[in-house]
Amino acid sequence: MKGLIGLMEAPLPEGPYYGALAEFATPADLYRACERVRDAGYSKWDAHTPFPVHGLEGAMGMKRSKLPWIVLALGLGGAATGFALQTWVHTTAYPLTISGKPLFTWPAFIPITFELGVLGGALGAVGGMLALNKLPMHHHPLFDVKRFSRFSDDGFFISIESWDPRFDASQTVRLLESAGASHVQLVENPK
Amino acid sequence: MSHGNTTALPPERIRIPAGHLIARLPIPLFGIGIVSAILAYATAGSARNFAFSWLIAVLFFLSLALGALYFVLIHYATQAGWGIVVRRLAENVMATLPLFAILFIPILVLMGDLYPWVHELAEGGHGLLAKKAPFLNTSFFLTRAVTYFVLWSAIALYFARASRKQDATSDVATSLRLKRLAGPALIVLALTQTFASIDWVMSLSPEWYSTMFGVYWFAGCFVSFFAFLTLVVMGLKRWGLLTDVVGVEHYHDLGKMLFAFTVFWAYIGFSQYFLIWYGNLPEETVFFRHRLIGTWRSVSLLLAFGHFIVPFFFLMPRTVKRNARLLTIGAAWMIAMHLVDIVWLVMPIVHPFGFKLRLSDLFAFLAVAALFKGLLCRLLSGAPLVPVGDPRLPESLSFENM
């Protein structure tokens, strides 16, 4: 049980700080700040907003998600499994003549092949999304910052994590301040 | 990218200028159409051959116009936003429906050569056909054909005209009225389109029946319409029209619809085959029996791979849908496959032992293509290419996929 909970915790970077957290007054300020952070070459950072901001993924320089490939692989895998299972059952494991048709009647296998393809794709989409988002995670160091709870109400935040190779406590804070943050602070690693 | 003000759309991008090639095309195209129609009749050899050549050509282009009518009605009924920039193009395609009422006259005149039940009933009728006589008889058939064309033309022209009037008034009330009417109009269209497919295609083999045939026909109409709409957009863009009006985000949605209805067609087509194959009743299986002998077997396989498996994987990636050149290839391919689908439905009746192309098939296709395109060019040059008065046009212009 303890191991399972450990899995659901955010891994922590080494050193005294988890990272830097900056708050912005408006989505527009956040958008411009994201472009600054992106252009400064940071890679391990994130933006937190109460609602989707159009085009933010471009301002953050995010790459396309790998999720479609996971869905495709599991969808095709599910379909192949369904077809193979029926072929094996009908021709080898339990051969039975049904309505005078040959044992290997591929058209009859299509509905289940299709359904397992859909099932595989759907599980791939949900499971893949959770895995890529590192969910479920029951706690995160940013939650220790009181101010951060406003990310789900009216706050717009950027967090830069300290294992980013460009992270430097004073320089990163200065970058965020010059990018128009209304408040910047360093977040300590939990003890 | 946000265009707050639609009046800022430069007219040279959304209007075909007077004297432009597209505006000068209709007259020559009408000429080519009439000459080709005469050539089709002259080269056919028999009235029956001409009737089948003509039926395939008319059904192909009619399905594009019906697909457009579905698109516009569904667009209003669902209050879709993304496609308002391409709605005027669809309105012009559906406004060609009255032309098909005229193009359908040869089919009605020659119905005795096309539909075997006409003569069998005249000789008294027997068995299954005698039971179907209350529906499959000449006078009711003609009445229905007239009804379909009157209803389709009325709905299409009403919606197209109201939208054009809105160009000047920008009246929200027009949008709301059309939205309210779109639902009932869709019900009328779905029913008439289903019965039309039964009348004109299914009754070619009058003892055969499939309860999925109406949906199958719809699937073909809709997927080929999205392919056609994509080609019209790309064609206009090559003339420098619709620049910065229809863009990558709209291609992406056209591609998604093309992909979705490619899958839908396959789902319906396979379901129809599967139930008939499984039930194994002679009066049902005869349809596929005729399409699995000789070269028709190869055409059936071409449909399975060319109309589904290949485009399924080709149209799947996001990059293809957002690339004008690749999407154009996909759309052209799907249009061609839709033609194969119609040939596969109709031609085995006249050439039961294998696919055969006659000169009259080509001339008939050219004739209907030229007349259809001529009218479409005329409609396109008669009004702005986007519904400039639609209050939600800015939403469509700045549309982005999440």
Domains of chain A listed by start with CATH number: 17-63+134-188 (3.30.70), 67-132 (no CATH)
Sheet holding A183-188, edge to edge: A45-48, A156-161, A17-24, A183-188
For residue A142, CA distances in Å to A42, A150, A181 come to 18, 12, 17
Instruction: State how far the Cα of B82 lies from the Cα of B251, in Å rounded to an integer.
Output: 10
Digit-coded pLDDT (tens) for A21-71: 999 999 999 999 999 999 999 999 999 999 999 889 999 999 989 999 999
For chain B, how many helices (H) and strands (E)?
Answer: 21, 0
Distance in Å, alpha carbon of B399 to nearest chain A alpha carbon = 11
Q: Lowest-confidence range among A103-107, B8-12, B163-167, B286-290? A: B8-12
Helix (H, G, I), strand (E, B) or coil at A157: strand
At B393, list the tokens: 């046009």
| A110 vs B270, B316, B318: nearest CB | B270
For the cut 90, the answer to whether the pLDDT of residue B249 exceeds it is yes
- Please, which pLDDT band fits residue A4 given cuts at 50, 70 and 90? low
Rounded to 10°, the helix B172-200/B213-238 angle is: 130
Q: Is B1 on the interface with A (CB under 8 A)?
A: no
- Per-residue model confidence (pLDDT) at position B210: 94
Chain A residues within 8 A of B318 when measuring between CB atoms: 64, 68
Cβ of B278 and A68 within 8 Å? no
For the cut 50, the answer to whether the pLDDT of residue B182 exceeds it is yes
Helices of type H across B45-171 = 47-77, 84-94, 97-103, 105-109, 111-114, 117-122, 127-132, 138-169
Cβ of B318 and A68 within 8 Å? yes
Digit-coded pLDDT (tens) for B319-376: 999 999 999 999 999 999 999 999 999 999 999 999 999 999 999 999 999 999 999 9
**Phi (first) and psi of residue A48, to 5 degrees:** -125, 120
Q: Are B357 and B47 in contact (CB under 8 A)?
A: no
- Per-residue model confidence (pLDDT) at position B185: 98
- Per-residue model confidence (pLDDT) at position B220: 97
Per-residue exposure over B304-343, b if at least 16 CB sit within 10 Å of its own CB, e if not: eebbbeebeebbeeeebbbbeebbbebbebbbebbbbbbb
**Residue B97: half-sphere exposure toward Cβ, Cα within 13 Å:** 28
- Per-residue model confidence (pLDDT) at position A11: 77
- Per-residue model confidence (pLDDT) at position B5: 46
Per-residue exposure over B165-194, b if at least 16 CB sit within 10 Å of its own CB, e if not: ebeeebeeebbeebeebbeebbeebeebbe
**Tell me, what DSSP letter sits at residue B361?**
H
- Please, which pLDDT band fits residue A17 given cuts at 50, 70 and 90? very high
**Mean pLDDT, rounded, for B74-90:** 95
Q: Lowest-confidence range among A131-145, B64-78, B260-274, B381-395? A: A131-145
- Per-residue model confidence (pLDDT) at position A54: 87
Whether the bond between B26 and the residue before it is cis, its omega within 30 degrees of 0, is no
Q: Which of A129-133, B125-129, B226-230 has the highest mean pLDDT?
A: B226-230
**Mean pLDDT, rounded, for B119-147:** 89
Cβ of B402 and A52 within 8 Å? yes
User: Hey, which residues 249-278 in chain B have their CB within 8 Å of chain A?
Assistant: 270, 273-274, 277-278
Q: Lowest-confidence range among A55-64, B82-91, B267-276? A: A55-64
- Per-residue model confidence (pLDDT) at position B1: 38
- Please, which pLDDT band fits residue A191 given cuts at 50, 70 and 90? confident
Instruction: State how far the Cα of B237 lies from the Cα of B243, in Å rounded to an integer.
Output: 6
- B45 backbone φψ class: left, alpha, beta (φ>0; ψ -120 to 50): left
| A108 vs B278, B400, B402: nearest CB | B278
**Mean pLDDT, rounded, for B204-215:** 94
**Mean pLDDT, rounded, for A97-110:** 92
**Chain mean pLDDT for chain B:** 94
| Identity of the residue numbered B189 | L
Chain A residues within 8 A of B274 when measuring between CB atoms: 107-108, 110-111
Cβ of A107 and B318 within 8 Å? no
Q: Is B400 on the interface with A (CB under 8 A)?
A: yes
Tell me which residue of B265, B235, B264 sits closest to B342, measured CA to CA.
B265
- Per-residue model confidence (pLDDT) at position A14: 85
Instruction: State how far the Cα of B95 lies from the Cα of B155, in Å rounded to an integer.
Output: 9
Q: Are B255 and B95 in contact (CB under 8 A)?
A: no
- Per-residue model confidence (pLDDT) at position B6: 47
For the cut 50, the answer to whether the pLDDT of residue B122 exceeds it is yes
- Per-residue model confidence (pLDDT) at position A7: 66
**Mean pLDDT, rounded, for B84-102:** 97
Helix (H, G, I), strand (E, B) or coil at A48: strand
Instruction: State how far the Cα of A104 lies from the Cα of A92, in Å rounded to an integer.
Output: 10
Number of CB atoms found within 10 A of residue A134's CB? 12
Chain A residues within 8 A of B278 when measuring between CB atoms: 99, 107-108
Q: Is A6 on the interface with B (CB under 8 A)?
A: no
